[in-house]
A = this chain, B = another copy of it.
Amino acid sequence: MNVASLARYVPILKWGRTYGRNALTGDVLAAVIVTIMLIPQSLAYALLAGLPPEAGLYASIAPIILYAIFGTSRALAVGPVAVVSLMTAAAIGNIADQSTMGYAVAALTLAALSGAILLVMGLLKLGFLANFLSHPVIAGFITASGILIATSQIKHILGISAGGDTLPEMVISLVGNLSATNWITLVIGVSATTFLFWVRKGLKPLLCRIRLGPRLADMVTKAGPVLVVMVTTAAVWGLGLDAEGIRIVGVVPQGLPPLTLPSFSTDLIRLLLLPALLISVIGFVESVSVAQTLAAKKRQRIDPNQELIGLGVANLGAAFTGGYPVTGGFARSVVNFDAGAETPAAGIFAALGLSIAAIALTPLIYFLPTATLAATIIVAVLSLVDFSILKRSWTYSKADFSAVAATILLTLGLGVETGVSAGVVLSIALHLYKSSRPHLAEVGLVPGTQHFRNIHRHSVLTDPTLLTIRIDESLYFANARFLEDYVADRVATDRPIRNVVLMCSAINEIDLSALESLEAINHRLETIDVKLHLSEVKGPVMDRLKKSDFLDLLTGQVFLSQYDAMRALAPEQALT
């Protein structure tokens, strides 16, 4: 393999060679800002995933470097994200108890499986599989996940214990334990949440009014969580609140990510395979859509199949360095881009910043209350919750609406895995249902022209012995039988018919099932002396038909145009 083809799979070999001082400046600045944003986020998402806080930091170091080497997006920032953290907790929660070794190993295994799935999909160019997740299903799933995540964090704000994988379970568990609320925790949690909301909604306009540039204002806003972390940590330490029952982060090991091994137990792998697949696909879809939006702004390209490889290697990296499943995050990638990141090197510098944090800063967060992390999560995920998709899909298409509604309800009611799986199955089923009833029109000749239009909508010339059906869809197994039924019905009720013409101008493909349906139609019409003809068959479809013996069996002819068919089969009408 020469360097050029190697560079296809290792994009760093391409951009790395022309790396210069300009890019360096932009990348370093972006890295500083992303690092500041990632420290509290990493800790918080680890908490959400049910893992010790350092797992979040570790999941942001090796993966970010590996993605920088193998990924194609210049701005995507990889690491732990909210939805994937929730899915991790849901997948592992049934297998092992939190804060046991088994739980951490299961998280590593999940990352390894997810990495392997993404890598294999990338190498086999199976990126199209992500298309099975329709936009409405993703939108519904993300909204429902946001609600589940926010609800799951309420226990930390209240300072109580609670569990559950679904909304009803969570609510029942919360209500049942409400009496144990720790009031100091609640004060800290609510203050932190309120402050973070204000930072999002109120601070930025304020900063703009005092003439800070909108970009700088944005950057300061992103540092809000760091400020809350510092203030609440200082408060707990200064006032000795840990003695009052406030849950704190406690001892976090100091040092670089450790080398770890996922489990290779086949039982565990079997249990985690479906969750890993769902995590991979959802992570990939989210990641690619962010990457594509950012790349488009600079007229850059991303290669979806190479993105699979990049994300796959990043997850494998997480599996071997104490992390858990990662993907490209929306908020952090936008921050990275806006802060001026020019190349994936920004990611490498951010990883450097996080390594320093892991080595030097972990003792400082001993007194960090988990309520603060919960507040960070709640504020971050509530921006995911967006019910407008329900209204939007309702006006646009009832089928899409039902897919969204089912995904939201099932995700909330039965958990993330059931919800998203049901959404996928439902949207495929709805699509097949819709295309199983192709639009058919019986057409006639517009007088004085060579055009054919629907006989029910236009005043057109027809002939009682001639039935012309225009099919507005490719013919394949799901809709072939519909055409069979339609033709059978029409000739059974309309006895003068002697010729049936199928106008194929909108048919892009005829699969083997449809071919056999056409043969059945041809054969059944033959038994009652009615001829079957085709018209306006597209080139590639005709080439395919020539490979079968259908054209030999066809009782009628194949006409180049519908007008030719009309002239041959109902000359009186065509010539008037």
Contacts and interface: CB of A to CB of B under 8 A. Distances in A.
A488 B397 contact: no
Nearest to A540: B439
Copies in the complex: 2
Contacts of A439: 508
Given A293-B520, A395-B548, A492 B301 contact: yes
B474 A395 contact: no
Most buried by B among A516, A525, A548: A516
A218 interface: no
Interface in A23-37: none
B296 A527 contact: yes
A292 B134 contact: no
B528 A488 contact: no
B488 A135 contact: no
A497 to B, nearest CB: 10
Contacts of A134: 476-477, 511-513
B512 A477 contact: no
B511 A397 contact: yes
Given A297-B528, A304-B485, A516 B135 contact: yes
Contact of A296 (B289, B299, B495, B524): B524
Contacts of A520: 289, 292-293
Contacts of A432: 131-132, 428
B508 A472 contact: yes
A130 B528 contact: no
Given A128-B436, A473-B474, A506 B508 contact: yes
A509 interface: yes
Interface in A474-493: 474, 476-482, 484-485, 488-489, 491-493
- Prevailing SS type, chain A contact patch: helix
A433 interface: yes
A524 B296 CA distance: 6
Contacts of A489: 301
A368 to B, nearest CB: 39
Interface in A445-485: 472-474, 476-482, 484-485
B516 A128 contact: no
Interface residues on A, range: 35 or more
A213 to B, nearest CB: 20
B548 A396 contact: yes
Nearest to A435: B474
A477 B520 CA distance: 32
Contacts of A396: 512, 515, 544, 547-548
A209 interface: no
Contact of A488 (B295, B393, B515, B544): B295
A536 interface: no
A264 B296 CA distance: 60
Contacts of A304: 481, 485
Interface string A130-151: 1111111000000000000000
Contacts of A409: none
A498 to B, nearest CB: 13
A400 interface: yes
A133 to B, nearest CB: 8
A38 B558 CA distance: 44
A392 B506 contact: no
Contacts of A128: 433, 436-437, 478, 481-482
Contact of A478 (B132, B480, B482, B508): B132
Given A484-B292, A524-B296, A548 B511 contact: no
A130 B484 CA distance: 14
Interface in A253-304: 289, 292-293, 295-297, 299-302, 304
Contacts of A480: 131, 135
A492 B482 CA distance: 43
Contacts of A299: 491-492, 495, 528
Contacts of A435: 474
A524 B512 CA distance: 39
A263 B509 CA distance: 47
A295 B492 CA distance: 9
A14 interface: no
A513 B136 CA distance: 6
Most buried by B among A135, A495, A506: A135
A382 interface: no
Contact of A509 (B136, B293, B434): B434
A548 B131 contact: no
Nearest first, the 4 A-B pairs at minimum CB distance are: A296-B524, A134-B477, A400-B512, A135-B513
8 contacts: A135-B516, A136-B512, A292-B520, A296-B525, A395-B548, A396-B544, A434-B509, A473-B474
Given A296-B524, A434-B509, 5 more contacts: A130-B481, A132-B477, A297-B524, A396-B515, A427-B477
Interface of A: 128, 130-136, 289, 292-293, 295-297, 299-302, 304, 392-393, 395-397, 399-400, 427-428, 431-437, 439, 472-474, 476-482, 484-485, 488-489, 491-493, 495, 506, 508-509, 511-513, 515-517, 520, 523-525, 527-528, 544, 547-548
